[in-house]
Structures are given as C-alpha cells and as structure tokens.
Structure 1
Amino acid sequence: MVTAPDPLAELEAQLRRRGVKRLAVTWVNHAGAVLVKVVPVGALASAVKLGVGFSPVSDAFRSDGAIDPQHRLARPDGDLRLRADPASLAPLEAASGWAWAAGTRHHRDGGLYDGDQRGFCSRQQHELAGAGLVLQAGFELEWMVVGGEEPGQDGPQPALAGGPYGADRLVEGLDYAAALTDACDAAGLPWQQLHPEYGRGQFELSLAPASPLQAADRLVLAKLLIQRVSRRFGWRCSFSPKPFAALVGNGGHVHLSVRQGGAALLQDGEGPGGLQPGGAAVVAGLLQHLPALLPLACNSAVSYRRLAPGSWSAPFQAWGIENREAAVRLVPAAADGAEAHLELKVADLTANPYLLLGALQAVVAESLTRPAGELAAAATALPEPVAGDPSVLEEEEAPRLPATLAEASQAFAASTLLRCALGEALHGSLLDAQQAEIRRAHNLSDDALLAASRWWPIVGGL
C-alpha cells in the first residue's frame, strides 16, 4: 500500500531547502501589538496541529505593554494554543533562516477561542461567502523613517531629505526603497506601489487586494518587513497616526470592493459614481456604522490627534467621489481596468487589521442580506456625495466623527450589530481595552502622548 504524502512534511522539506531554520508565529492583540512565539522548523507540524502556549492575559496589554489591572482578562490563570496557519507561511528573512506565519488561538481542547481576532475575521469571511458575497481588501501603509539627532536640531530627524512625493527623496533613499521592495518580493508579498508621501521622511506602500483574512495577514507581514529593513539601515520607523505635532500623520487606509453573485456592486450602475443599488446600500451602511467602527479603525488615543479638519485625514461622517476629505471615498472604475472600490480614509496602523476587516464584513453583510424592499430603501436613503471640503458644510451634511477615543468607544458600545458579530466575550474584552487606552492617555499632555506612541515597536521607545 502506498502511503499518502504528508503535506506538512513536504512543506518542512521545502523550507529546509530554502535555508529556513526558524518559524515566527504571530497574532495581533487588542492594542494592535504583534506578539510572537518562535519554533524550530522541525516543529512546523506541531505548531500547525497543536500550537504553542499563549496566555489570554495578552489581550489585557496596553499599547505600552503594561497589563491593565481593570481588564477582565488581567488574571494569571488559563492558557491558549496559538496555531500556525500554513496557508499564510512566508519567508521573513530567508537569508538568515527565518520564516513567518500568522496564528489563530484555540482552546486546549482544540476549539477556536471566541476572543481570537483572526478567528473573528475568518468567521465573517465564511459568513459572507455563504451569502454569495465576496469582499476584497487591501491596505495602504504610511510611515516615517527617522534617523539620529543632528547637531543644532531638536530631537530625532527624518532619515531622508526630499520634498512631498519628491523624486529627490526617492533618490536619496534609493538603496532603502530597493531593500524594502526586495524584501517584499522575497516574502511573496504582492505590492502595487511605493512612493515618498507628503510628510518629511514619509513613505507609502500599497498592497495588492486579497481576501480579508489574507489582506490582514499581509499587513502584519509588511509592518515587520518595514521594521526590519529600517533597522538594517540604522533607522527607526514610525507608524504612529501623529508622530510629531507639527508634522502630518500616518494613515493605514483600507480599500475594499464587493461582489454579489459575481457582479461588482460599485460600478456600472445608475447611482452616483456608477453605484448599483447594492453598492449604494453598502456605502449607506458604512456611513451609518462609521462612529461605532471608529475605535477599531483608530485604536489609540493618539489616533484622534490625527483626525483633525483640514489635515486630509477625513474626520467627517460623509462620502464622496474621489474626495480625500470624506471618510468613505469612492474610487470609480478606471481606464486601466481596475475595479471600482471604496477607501476607508480614517483608518490608521494602530488598528488590529483582523478586527477592522471582520467588522467591515459584518457591516457589508447587514447592508446586503436584507429584503429587497429594505435594500432599495437603504440605497435611496444614501445622501448625495460631498464635493469639496466637508468642514465648510453644515453639520447635517457632513457630521464630525467622534473627536476622542472615549466618544468613539461609546458608539462602539451602543452598536447592536458589532456586539452580535463579535460576540459578547470579544466585544466586552475590546471595550475593556478601549477604556484601558483612555486611562493610559488621560493624564498625558499632548507632547507626552505623541512621544509615548511615536515609535515602532511602541514598547521600548527610541
């Protein structure tokens, strides 16, 4: 009798042939921090089937690494198993023997932990597929590259000179850009565009669209690669929404498209910008739930220092066609054949991508899985797209989104949709984490808050 090949044994053999010796398995906690356990490549099968131990208390960590004593998970008992997903496996730095995989946490008896963020995103993706819906998502990452202090300068300085979107900055950092894109290519991380951004020493990387789970995995891997390449050059990278008071902030914009029964809903219709009725219902649903989504998209207290009118951070509960100051931006189908999609402009990179994309899927499902009459009513109720600067409009035309995490957390707490989608355990744990972040920032001055949240990784500072 011929024995069927063991796919995990074959995968391990492939990794060994590529020189991989170690596997880093990560997950992202409520504070948006990427946590890790490392196993030898020979333990790949065990990491996939059995997992490695991880205490539930990790979701009680604040963004500075301290355990919040008031969080419901701030207790020493209990254990979970972090299982590596072989479908996500990618080289992290193969030249030095490292690979990476995303992990999902399970109970010791094998059941999925109901507080796991990646598990929530995966569950929402399966529910969408069961309803005949397909959502594709992709992230844009913005970050600042910072070097050491210069004589006569106050504090750390951008590592690379050059103007906004300037080719001069690219040429100054050509080796850095080459090393970063080489690292993405080596990791099999599909990227679409890299360019110097508006801010001093700032760059943006756009990742290719994928399923929500894969898009979130890609974001985690991209941040790790950016951190690694930046440190190789002797620099620090800041993903902070507001690294310095006088400079622009960093976003983590989410792009998404929606198909139902194979048909794209955001184009080829008679609605504004080519929206079909289903697409209009999706936009209306996102607008309705945006205040409750905000603490998932903007997870930290410092996020709300970025969300200021006039800063191109889109702090308004409004949508627009190619309007970069509207929180929801419709990018119509283009001559290059790209599918029409929506951009959530308010999001930043303190977000846990699994929670954010899971919640966005829940909103899309609610918007589209309703009786035909209700769907038509929702599409009809979509307000007109905002043109120009929303800050000059009346409040009812472009309401201001919550201006603090405390306000956003209240909207999150009141959301029946998100409570049901997340489940009581995960929803309540997130509320505790939001209150922990509010308490952490309460007695900090603006300067102290910005300084405490400036660097990646946050814990340990510069």
Structure 2
Amino acid sequence: MALPPASMALALAEQGLRWVAITWVNHAGAPLVKVVPLAGFEAAVAVGVGFSPVADAFSADGAIAPGHRLARPDGDLRLRADAAALAPLEPANGWAWAPGERYERSGAPYAGDQRHLCRRQMEQLERARVELRAGFELEWLVASPAADGTPAPAIPGGPYGADRLVEGLDYATALLEALEAAGLPWLQFHPEYGAGQFELSLAPGTPLEAADRLVHARLVIQRVTRRFGWRCCFSPKPSLERVGNGGHLHLSLVRDGVPLLQGGEQEAGLTGTGAGVLAALLAELPALLALACPLAVSYRRLATGSWSAPFQVWGVENREAALRLVPTAADGAPAHLELKVADLAANPYLLLGAVQAVVADGLERPRPLPPPVSGDPSGLPAGAAARLPASLAQASAAFAASDLLREALGEALHGALGDSQAAEVRRAADCSEAELVAASAWWPVVGGDRLKGGQAGAPQPATITRLRPAALAA
C-alpha cells in the first residue's frame, strides 16, 4: 500500500531530496513542469498547482498555434501530483519527480488531460479482467551542434558496436547509474545502428507506469547528456542523411490469468482472442498513427526499406511490419506485440490510452486477422500490402474519421488533438525537406534554443521565422 503524501515526502526528505518537479505532456509531445518544495508536496497532491489550458495549444516549436480552440487566455486548471508515482530525479542534487494529472478548479477531472485518458482506459480493461503490460524502447542521438547547427554525432563507433560503448563508457556508466538512482527499471542498453545513437529498453509495467517511465527516463537521459557537454536528440529524423529515432511500444495481454498472445492454435501460437485484438489494432493503425507519429518530420522517418515499418501489416518477428509479434520461445519470455511505427514525439499517455481503447474494442468485437507478412512488404506485388499514411495530414484525416477513437477520447480531447495536428501540418506546409528536418532536429524545444536565433544548435533565424505563426514571428 502506498504511503500518504506526507509520509512519502518525509521519507524523501530523509534522503536529502528538497524539490519535486511535477510534469505532464502536452499535445506536441513536450513535457511541461511546475516545481514545488518538498514541504509543499502534500498540497500539490491534494489541491494541485495552476496550469493554463493554453499549453495544449503549443506547437512543436513552442509557439501558440493560432486558431487552436485552446489558444485563449481564459480558464485555469490544477495540476495534481500523483503521490504513488513520486520518485527521485537527481537525488545527489536534491531533486525528485512526479507525474501530474490536470483537474478543473471544481475538482472534476479535466476532460482534455492525457494521463487521465490513459488511467480511465486502464481501469476499463481491469474491470474486464484484462491485464495489459507495456514498455517503451527509446532511441536517441548523442550529438554536438555542427557548424551549421545540425546534430553531429559526439561518440564514435560502428553500428551496435562495442567500440562505441567503450568510446562512450564514461557516458554509459553515468547514464545507467543515474537511471538506477532515479529508480527506473530497465532491461537493456546498447549502441544503435545510427552514428552516435543509443537505445534503452525500459521494463514493462501497467500502462500508466510505462508512460511515466518514458517521461522520467527522457528527463534523466537529457540531464546526463548535458552534463557531458553534449545534447540528446530525440527527433524522429535528426538529419536527411541519418537514420531516425523510434520510440517503439511493446504490449502483452492476459485475461483471467491466461495469456492471449501465446498458447493458442493460430499463427505463431496466437489465441483466437489474441488474434482478434491484433486485427483491431491493425485496422485502426492509420488513425493511431496520428498519435504515434504526431510531427510532420515523423513521416520522413517512415520510409520504405528503412526498417521503420510503414505498411499496414503484421508479421512474426518481422521488423518491417508495423505490428511485430514476438512469440514466446525457449527463453520463457511472454509473447508480446511491438508497435514499430511509434516515435518519441508521441505523447505516451495519449498513445497508450488510444491503444487500450482499441484493445478493448478488439476483445468486444473480434474480427478476422489477415495472414502475416514475411520479408519487406515493399517487395510485394502492388496492392498486397497497404501503405500507412505517408504524411501527418493523411494520418490526421484517418484519426478524425475514427469513431472508435472519437468515442474513447471524448469530443473535447479528440477535437483539441485535431487542432494540434492541423497546426503542425500548417507549420511544415511551405518547408522543403531539408528545412523541415533542420527545424525539428533538436526536438523537443528545451530552454527555447530554437526560438532564439544564433544559439548553438539552433536553425538560422530565417528558418525559425518561417515555421512560427506570423503574429509571433514579428
């Protein structure tokens, strides 16, 4: 049983912790924060701290999107810290962290809160006696700004190379120590394929735990990287020449204690119920893509033949399938699904909330599952594998047309997300490929670097102006 907030705060104070950073993630995928002293943590749990609804109208560049339904000065919300998720952030310097959920001043849950959606969908599955476990993989580039401001890999070494680990061993040591000091359980860490790229696999948990761990881990990674004088780049496409960064989502399902993705008589051991869930996810993939890949630049990563899985297919251990089934084997690990198309611009609470809604629909309304695809779907005859949306505009249209997601999210949240997607489409509309990638290279906006021309790592002022609303660029 979790300790009450006052007892938790006392326990953390005894560890030398003094401040709590309370975060939530907006529609642009950026974590936002309010800080309270540890002595004020109990009030932050019970009453919360103020936060304007306008923050969900922020675009990926940090500017307020004109025409967004939340782009107004009216109203206020209370961001309440979740005491059960309180954890260290950087304990050596006195910092703790907690995720927050937003409430109306009346005390009612705010209909547009992303973490509340994730919690509500999780509770719905639990009432149906279904346990969904989830975990994220994070990919990021460790970089320094090149002369033109674009990310240049800071740690040498080959793809998956032990040489890169050894070259960056001080960095790896500091990072893994920081993750463990923050209480973040992880499964695997390694150099990735791209130059200067690394990957971290977080341990699975409930959907809320999985989303919280992703947010928490990104903060720790960012902090450790900056301590070395480098930048961590989570952008889906840091440059035109290099591979992108994914944020793959792994899922397992159990109902009444029985795994649904193994032990059955269908393909690769799927049960009939598990196949129905997979079919539902497959059918809703175009709509889910607007949440899994919410930036215009996300779709530059989803290129054919690049192991980014841009086709609406599933496969058994096929890394070019948007839904990859990893069956149980001699290692005894439970079978699970991997959503390959997601990247780290996704708000993890929104993504997991929507995925859970689709899972619930697949359990209630099973549908036939098409055969799995082997090999690269781009090599199949024309029409054999449907291409997923190739742009945010296409994905947003599918999202708008999904009655399932509209009902699950509610009109307020669904509509505000549509406005945010439209703002991102407009932001990128007049950009060349190179301009779009350069303007998103250091996503997310951290410390306003991309809104202040001339700083290291920022694009040139002309690019900034082009991507900002005219009213704010003046």
* SS at structure 1 position matched to 2:426: helix
1:63-102 deviation line (CA, Å, top 9, x unaligned): 1010011100000010000000011111110111100000
Question: Does structure 1 retain, via aligned residues, the 8 Å contact 2:322–2:339?
Answer: yes
Equivalent pairs, count = 448
The 2-side partners of 1:448 and 1:119 are apart by: 36
1:79 aligns with 2:80: no
Q: How does 1:310-329 map to 2 (within 5 A)?
A: 310-329=305-324
1:305 aligns with 2:292: no
Determine which of 390, 399, 417 is the counterpart of 1:403.
390
1:20 aligns with 2:7: no
Determine which of 189, 193, 198 is the counterpart of 1:198.
193
The 2-side partners of 1:334 and 1:230 are apart by: 37
Q: CA RMSD in A?
A: 1.3
* SS at structure 2 position matched to 1:411: helix
- CA-CA distance at 1:156 after TM superposition: 4.3
Determine which of 335, 348, 364 is the counterpart of 1:340.
335
1:280-326 deviation line (CA, Å, top 9, x unaligned): 00110011000000010001000000001011000000000000000
The 1-side partners of 2:311 and 2:364 are apart by: 27
Aligned to 2:371: 384
The 1-side partners of 2:204 and 2:53 are apart by: 31
The 2-side partners of 1:33 and 1:86 are apart by: 22
195-204 or 442-451, which deviates more: 442-451
- CA-CA distance at 1:202 after TM superposition: 0.3
Q: How does 1:102-113 map to 2 (within 5 A)?
A: 102-113=99-110
Aligned to 1:32: 29
The 2-side partners of 1:266 and 1:212 are apart by: 18
1:111-156 deviation line (CA, Å, top 9, x unaligned): 1000000000000000011111111000000000002548xx9954
TM-score normalised by the chain length of structure 2? 0.93
1:419 aligns with 2:406: yes
Aligned to 2:425: 438
* SS at structure 2 position matched to 1:30: coil
* SS at structure 1 position matched to 2:373: coil
TM-score normalised by the chain length of structure 1? 0.95
- Distance of aligned partners of 1:62 and 1:148 in 2 relative to their CA distance in 1, 3 Å threshold: closer
- Distance of aligned partners of 1:298 and 1:457 in 2 relative to their CA distance in 1, 3 Å threshold: closer
Question: Does structure 2 retain, via aligned residues, the 8 Å contact 1:316–1:390?
Answer: yes
1:386-420 deviation line (CA, Å, top 9, x unaligned): 00110011343310000000000000000000000
The 2-side partners of 1:347 and 1:214 are apart by: 18
Residue identity over aligned pairs, in percent, reads 66
- CA-CA distance at 1:43 after TM superposition: 0.1
Amino acid at match of 2:449: G
Q: How does 1:215-364 map to 2 (within 5 A)?
A: 215-364=210-359
The 1-side partners of 2:151 and 2:135 are apart by: 31
- CA-CA distance at 1:456 after TM superposition: 4.3
The 1-side partners of 2:317 and 2:339 are apart by: 12
- CA-CA distance at 1:6 after TM superposition: 8.1
Determine which of 446, 449, 474 is the counterpart of 1:460.
449
Question: Does structure 1 retain, via aligned residues, the 8 Å contact 2:150–2:239?
Answer: no
The 2-side partners of 1:160 and 1:299 are apart by: 29
Question: Does structure 2 retain, via aligned residues, the 8 Å contact 1:131–1:369?
Answer: no
Amino acid at match of 1:297: A
